[in-house]
Homo-oligomer: A and B are copies of this chain.
Amino acid sequence: MPITPDQQAEIDAARTDQHTTMRATVPGMEAHLYKAHEVLDHGFIRVIDYMGDDNAIVQAARVSYGRGTKAVQNDAGLIRYLMRHWHSTPFEMCEIKLHVKLPVFVARQWIRHRTANVNEYSARYSILDREFYIPAPEHLAAQSKQNHQGRGGVLEGEEAARVLDILWADSNRAYDHYEEMLDQDGQDGLARELARMNLPANIYTQWYWKVDLHNLFHFLRLRADSHAQYEIRVYADAICKVVADWVPHAFAAFEDYRLGGAQFSGKGMDCVRRMIAGEQVDQASSGMSAGEWREFQAVLQG
């Protein structure tokens, strides 16, 4: 239950507050505004504000290309053209602001995307809540044997139980001690900015995160990808659903060209051409390393 009854009442109140505007407005986004979409055991994403729509992308492209673009193509076609040719600036004309609650180890990955605006809850200034991410049993993955940076099968039985016990007990003990160190009954109480260092990386934090659509697509391409860590991918997936309602043409183009697309090297293109011409190509004749050939085949199989 990431949202308390008090928070829900605040959200409901915000949603009754209607204004009149001449700005571009998207009914699908109005339906999302302020609502919490739950992610993981205590996390969420909430849309706090948005600027622009599919038409704002088209409008910006037409400022660039002048009258010429007006007749030629319909909006969806123009947006597909822009996406296909990496004309990124029109997508930068849309902006979204999210309120996100997420575990600290996810926040540490997320913040590496530098072209966004962030206001994070300050544990120097305030006291964090006792909320920790504990994986659901089906996400308690083993280390991959092949891939240093991946997951293998799911832990089972006693090993799973032991891991969950550790995570649960250590989180709560760390929080008990955090409170004890801060506590001031007859004592000075450790500074908040120091006490927080005892808290583990699965504690939840929260932030406002504001980003333009081009940079959001870049984030989603990397984080909604199957190689991304599950715990950040679920946030990316939740955001994808929102974006599909916000800018449906742009999102459809993004799905086709980025999420669903593939990229080949010069060597890879040689192989593709030879294969289309009917030739049997194997690793030896491909000019690729074993790893690259394995990845190439995986892409071809889809």
Residues of A within 8 A of B (CB): 14-15, 17-25, 30, 33-34, 49-52, 56, 59-61, 63-68, 77, 80-81, 84, 86, 89-90, 92-93, 95, 97, 99, 103-105, 108, 111-112, 114-115, 117-122, 124-127, 133, 135, 140-144, 148-153, 155, 159, 162-163, 166-167, 170-171, 173-174, 177, 180-182, 184, 187-194, 196-202, 206-208, 210, 212, 222, 229, 255-257, 259-269, 272-273, 275-276, 278, 289, 291-292, 295, 299-300, 302
Contact A140 B194 (CB under 8 A): yes
Q: A153-B188, A192-B143 are in contact. Are A95 and B148 (CB under 8 A)?
A: no
Known: A90-B119, A261-B266. 9 other contacts (CB 8 A): A65-B149, A93-B210, A143-B191, A143-B192, A159-B188, A166-B198, A170-B170, A198-B200, A262-B269
A236 smallest CB distance to B (angstroms): 16
A140 to B191, CA, bound (A): 8
A196 smallest CB distance to B (angstroms): 6
Contact B163 A181 (CB under 8 A): yes
A12 smallest CB distance to B (angstroms): 11
Determine the chain B residues whose CB is within 8 A of the CB of A92 once the complex forms.
Answer: 117, 210
Q: Which listed residue (B30, B77, B184, B266) contacts A22, Cβ 8 A?
A: B30
Contact A256 B265 (CB under 8 A): yes
Contact B174 A80 (CB under 8 A): no
Determine the chain B residues whose CB is within 8 A of the CB of A15 once the complex forms.
Answer: 22
A291 to B90, CA, bound (A): 20
A34 to B133, CA, bound (A): 39
Q: A114-B114, A292-B84 are in contact. Are A202 and B198 (CB under 8 A)?
A: yes
A110 smallest CB distance to B (angstroms): 11
Determine the chain B residues whose CB is within 8 A of the CB of A255 once the complex forms.
Answer: 266
Determine the chain B residues whose CB is within 8 A of the CB of A289 once the complex forms.
Answer: 77, 80
Residue among A51, A171, A278 with max Cβ neighbours from chain B (10 Å): A51
Name the 5 nearest CB pairs between A and B, nearest first.
Answer: A260-B266, A66-B126, A142-B188, A92-B117, A19-B25
A128 smallest CB distance to B (angstroms): 9
Determine the chain B residues whose CB is within 8 A of the CB of A276 once the complex forms.
Answer: 272, 275-276, 300
Contact B166 A122 (CB under 8 A): no
Contact B170 A166 (CB under 8 A): no
Contact B260 A269 (CB under 8 A): yes
A193 smallest CB distance to B (angstroms): 5
A30 to B25, CA, bound (A): 14
A276 to B121, CA, bound (A): 42
Residue among A15, A170, A289, A300 with max Cβ neighbours from chain B (10 Å): A170
Residue among A23, A89, A255 with max Cβ neighbours from chain B (10 Å): A23
Contact A148 B177 (CB under 8 A): no
Contact B267 A256 (CB under 8 A): yes
